[in-house]
Structure 1
Amino acid sequence: MRTLCINLKTPQESSSAEAFLILSPRVQFRFPHFIFVEIESTSHFFGGEVGSLNKALEIAGKFSSDAAAAIADTPAAAQMFARWRPSYVAPRGKEQEGFRGLGLDALKDLEGLHPWPQKKPIEHMISFFHTLGVHGLEDVLNFRSNSLRERWGDFGVLLWNRLHSQDAQVISPLVPRDPLVGYGYFDDPLGAVPLLMARLKPHLDILFARLAGLSRYAQKLDVILHCEYSDKRYPFSIEPVSPTRDQELFEDLLEKKLSQLTLENPIREFEISLFDVPEKVQQLDFFEPRDNTEDRWRRLISFAKQSQCEMGFLQMEASHFPEQSFRLVTDWPEDFKAHDLIERQDEALQIKSVYAKGLSVSPRPSLLLEKPQPLNTFEVQKLRFVSSLPSERIESSWWQISVQELKNRDYYFALSHQGQLLWVFKDRINSQVYLHGYFD
């Protein structure tokens, strides 16, 4: 079994282990700051053991700026190497080769999933070896198991087993149970947005690292700010238009929200809660358009929603009348999915992304007025109708009760004096002409 040990060096919550589930389902936290990952069957996903180690260090950077890691056959040796030989990958089946050059103090870190019950016995053992003239860890390997048993009993046997990769320590699959929450207390209360963001960001880094390890998406972020000189609280939520793991988007929305607050007092403490949902699984192929405009759209509409601004796409509905046949939606419509357009010029090829290809042949305009605009006689005379016959006729249903609700329209294509292609209709009841839309 190959084990990766990450030494975060600063005390952490046990939930920090969730961030490393991306490396393997077998992850275990050991107080106060050790993470053990079994990578025997998963390292090839990251290009080998070195790739797994580099990925672990990348994740660990969210928790600690000076984290260290190492790989060995056993958790005990991996922990020791993480402390004394950072980024070391012990040869498979020959982890004792890494003992060369290490002093006896390294024995204090030869623990793994189960720390030494007490430090005094191992310190006494180190002192005893020094009196014998043994100062290197590799020299301790020459002692037999019986010799250590006679001197230190079961503790000596345990040491011999760990030195010779005989101490079986099984890393079990991690079952996440902790909520995605964070809490912070300021010794010096803060009131400036940049300072608040700087203190909130490390907590966001950890939450989103755990989110990625859990293969989940963030749906909403709840924040509660507590004032220093009163019981005033500022609760608010950050919710993009769709679930995402885009931490930068959440930070931008959070910073904008903070800038809109008028704080009565400096902030003493804060609470943050991240609500997660299952991630969206998409199978991308070679022909997937390279320009991911859909993601950029989600960022834009999330900012608009944060500013109480309504925006989106007009989605077609099954309705008889044009003004009732569109509905504002925020999701990226299927009709707007990008397709690759290949242009050939001489012997050169250029690939472009084309959107809403179907609109180019639509018989109705893409820019529709919410309410038809009546045109006076002078405005109608300035129009140049494309044909004398209507392109479309719409009539009310026969079961309409009120005469005022009756609608009988003849639609025409017309050009304005500015060259715009318009969509107009004539009311067949009162002969009034209306402007209803523009072809872009």
Structure 2
Amino acid sequence: MATGGLNAAKHWLCLVPRRLALDALCLPDPETTLVTMRKGQRSWVVSAGCGLPPGSDLATVLTARPELRWVERQPDAETAYMQQLAALGHSLGAPVHLEQHAPSVDAPAGWASVWVEVGRSARLFEGLEGVRLAAQSNLAANSLNCGVAIAPTMESARLLAAHSDGAIAPSLPALSDMMQTLPVHALHLPGQVIDGLRASGIQRCDALFALASDQIGRRYGTATTRYLDRLLGRVAETRAAHRLPRRFEKRIRFDGNVHSTQGLRFPLRHLFGALELYLRAIDSASQQVRIILEHVDAPDTHLTVSLTASARDADHWLLMCREHLSRLELPEAVSAIVLHCDRFQPLDGPQMALFDAGKAEETAWRQTVERLLARLGEDAVWTMGLADDHRPERAWRRQHPANQQSSGVLPPAADRPLWMFDPPRPLPHSPKLAGPAERIESGWWEGNELRRDYFLATGDSGMRLWVYQDRRSRRWYLHGLWA
């Protein structure tokens, strides 16, 4: 358990989704969509892109606005959206807390919040203003529609995020001044309590705060008193700390099937954005992800995207994924897409170019190789690596560019040409030797014994040659040369 409150030195950043049920669906045209919920015989609007208030009766809205379309809310998608916000929180500070409540009659839109204590990490962002700007920048980059605020208590941070986006209250006195003019309906209190306050003539928070705690308890219940105590930092707030899952998995279900790979680019951008936030939160990167395309009447399509070096940038992953999709033929329309990642490594990439300008060129080369792999296939692109064998023709092997570490090591004194003949070319006469012999005897355990004496030699035009004499036949062969 983690505790917040009773401590003016703490600063809580809160993220409050403005239209969670709608944004969680990742729709390309949310402005004409209503997200609804049904309980009993009544269906109401939970979230709407056109500005309709939550709680509006669905039948009434469709009668007046027949051009709008409606979809049922997806609780799993909302949970995944909140996990994405929590991952963003983990990249800003610790601990992180998450609360989420489904829509109800009293709260037709439901509510959800993510808090992160940023007091100790604020100096890394050059102050609380820097933390707020970093949070808003990450939200904008990932199309996450949230209110943001920083305050000394968790309840006050949520209140400001919902009604004073971007506000920063650095202390309890500053917080009290900021909340004076807020209307009482902004407080996170049950509807009957808000109605009772208004009936008593209490319209703003300053009038409510002027009442004694015992008087508020008698009139509006002890739950209201406890809420105000948490809001103003009089008592501690205790909530379970959020923990990131050990693997990343996010699914987007489409409202209508997608018939081409072009239509997958929009949801993939959201998925890779969520993956980047997760990888930043765990301070890691990945070299491989799996994509599952779900179909209604056909087996799922599985796609693996691999890189030559670990990365976490969403745009880079999306670029590589597009190359794979360009070669893919869909067996059927896609009804949902899943992004899965469970293999993590430290980030392998340039962090500073001050002392190593060559890192940028290395990164560009890696990206070129990755695009070739994605476009041509895993078997079409390879590099050379060393093998544990003394026989020159077997001392190398093909390997994937992502695994360039050799399994064998050449002797320090060995001098080998890059241009090798396969098979070695017979020489009509003894060459002009230019160095001592190197004896290689190997392969006897396979029934293909090799017994050779290798020499450096000089050709007629002065070219350096690598030749050997077969110790059994005594014949000479040209095996390689230096350019």
Q: TM-score range by the shorter chain?
A: 0.7 to 0.9
Q: Are 2:149 and 1:80 equivalent residues in the alignment?
A: no
1:391–1:410 contact (8 Å) kept in structure 2: no
2:443–2:449 contact (8 Å) kept in structure 1: no
> In 2, Cα distance between the equivalents of 1:285 and 1:79?
37
1:100–1:136 contact (8 Å) kept in structure 2: yes
Q: Secondary structure at the match of 2:172?
A: coil
> In 1, Cα distance between the equivalents of 2:352 and 2:324?
38
AA at the equivalent of 1:423: L
**1:397 pairs with one of 422, 441, 463:** 441
Report deviation, 1:263.
Answer: 2.0
Q: Are 2:191 and 1:119 equivalent residues in the alignment?
A: yes
> In 2, Cα distance between the equivalents of 1:399 and 1:156?
85
Q: Are 2:315 and 1:236 equivalent residues in the alignment?
A: no
> In 2, Cα distance between the equivalents of 1:403 and 1:149?
94
**Which residue of structure 2 lines up, in the alignment, with residue 207 of structure 1?**
275
1:422–1:438 contact (8 Å) kept in structure 2: yes
Report deviation, 1:145.
Answer: 1.8
> In 2, Cα distance between the equivalents of 1:169 and 1:129?
30
**Which residue of structure 2 lines up, in the alignment, with residue 107 of structure 1?**
187
1:225–1:233 contact (8 Å) kept in structure 2: yes
AA at the equivalent of 1:213: A
**Which residue of structure 2 lines up, in the alignment, with residue 8 of structure 1?**
17
**Which residue of structure 2 lines up, in the alignment, with residue 436 of structure 1?**
480
> In 1, Cα distance between the equivalents of 2:395 and 2:306?
29
1:19–1:211 contact (8 Å) kept in structure 2: no
> In 2, Cα distance between the equivalents of 1:91 and 1:65?
25
Report deviation, 1:46.
Answer: 2.0
1:106–1:137 contact (8 Å) kept in structure 2: no
Task: Spell out the pairing of 1:211-226 with structure 2 (5 A cutoff).
Answer: 211-226=279-294
Task: Spell out the pairing of 1:369-384 with structure 2 (5 A cutoff).
Answer: 369=420, 371-374=422-425
**Which residue of structure 1 lines up, in the alignment, with residue 469 of structure 2?**
427
1:394–1:407 contact (8 Å) kept in structure 2: no
**Which residue of structure 1 lines up, in the alignment, with residue 393 of structure 2?**
323
Q: Are 2:383 and 1:312 equivalent residues in the alignment?
A: yes
| Change beyond 3 A, Cα 1:56–1:392 | farther
| Change beyond 3 A, Cα 1:93–1:404 | closer
Q: Secondary structure at the match of 2:215?
A: helix
> In 1, Cα distance between the equivalents of 2:94 and 2:125?
14
> In 1, Cα distance between the equivalents of 2:442 and 2:371?
46
AA at the equivalent of 2:425: P
AA at the equivalent of 2:216: L
Number of matched residues? 391
- For CA contacts below 8 A with separation 6 or more, give which structure has more relative contact order: 2
**Which residue of structure 1 lines up, in the alignment, with residue 178 of structure 2?**
98
> In 1, Cα distance between the equivalents of 2:448 and 2:384?
31
Report deviation, 1:403.
Answer: 11
AA at the equivalent of 2:456: Y
AA at the equivalent of 1:105: H
1:311–1:328 contact (8 Å) kept in structure 2: yes
Which deviations, in whole Å up to 9, do the C-alpha atoms of 1:144-180 show, x marking residues without a partner?
A: 2233233223144235424533242135532223642
Q: TM-score, normalised by structure 1?
A: 0.75
Report deviation, 1:77.
Answer: 1.0
1:313–1:333 contact (8 Å) kept in structure 2: no
- Aligned-residue CA RMSD in angstroms? 3.7
Report deviation, 1:28.
Answer: 0.9
Report deviation, 1:415.
Answer: 6.3
Report deviation, 1:121.
Answer: 1.3
Q: Secondary structure at the match of 1:236?
A: strand
Structure 2 runs not aligned, ≥5 long: 1-9, 21-77, 101-110
**Which residue of structure 2 lines up, in the alignment, with residue 343 of structure 1?**
none
| Change beyond 3 A, Cα 1:178–1:422 | same
Report deviation, 1:242.
Answer: 4.4
Report deviation, 1:49.
Answer: 1.4
> In 1, Cα distance between the equivalents of 2:335 and 2:321?
18
Q: TM-score, normalised by structure 2?
A: 0.69
**1:291 pairs with one of 358, 369, 375:** 358
| Change beyond 3 A, Cα 1:362–1:10 | farther
Which deviations, in whole Å up to 9, do the C-alpha atoms of 1:269-320 show, x marking residues without a partner?
A: 22221223253599989985232255445434444544122422434x6654
Report deviation, 1:240.
Answer: 2.4
> In 2, Cα distance between the equivalents of 1:52 and 1:395?
67
> In 1, Cα distance between the equivalents of 2:443 and 2:163?
87
1:219–1:275 contact (8 Å) kept in structure 2: no
| Change beyond 3 A, Cα 1:107–1:366 | farther
Task: Spell out the pairing of 1:250-261 with structure 2 (5 A cutoff).
Answer: 250-261=317-328
Percent identity, aligned pairs only?
15
